[in-house]
Structure 1
């Protein structure tokens, strides 16, 4: 989802190619964060369950 501020700033501030590359990098970063969070939550839940 595009926020109003980024939608207004991005085209004027930098070329489209740079913006696309940046968004791709951001998407990859989000994916990594999600994986780390999932892994951590799994470890936490496993630790919480009595054997």
Structure 2
């Protein structure tokens, strides 16, 4: 179990593919949040317009 020390985890996280993967996840997360907010705004505007 000595492989799972914080230092080795840090080394794994600082590697290029890991940072690229983290950036990808972050972008996906942010874009997902933006999409959900935009969808909510559209739904609200549609409800207001139809009402």
Structure 2: gaps of 5 or more residues: 1-15
Q: Please state if 1:42 is matched with 2:13.
A: no
- Structure number, greater radius of gyration: 2
Poorly superposed stretches of 4+, deviation over 2 Å? none
Greater relative contact order (Cα 8 A, min sep 6): structure 1 or 2?
A: 1
Q: Tell me which protein shows more helix as a share of its residues.
A: 2
Q: Deviations over 1:2-40 (max 9, x none)?
A: xxxxxxxxxxxx711110111001100011111110000
Number of equivalenced pairs: 36
Give the structure-2-normalised TM-score.
0.64
Structure 1: gaps of 5 or more residues: 1-13
d(CA) in 1 for partners of 2:36, 2:19:
26
Give the structure-1-normalised TM-score.
0.64
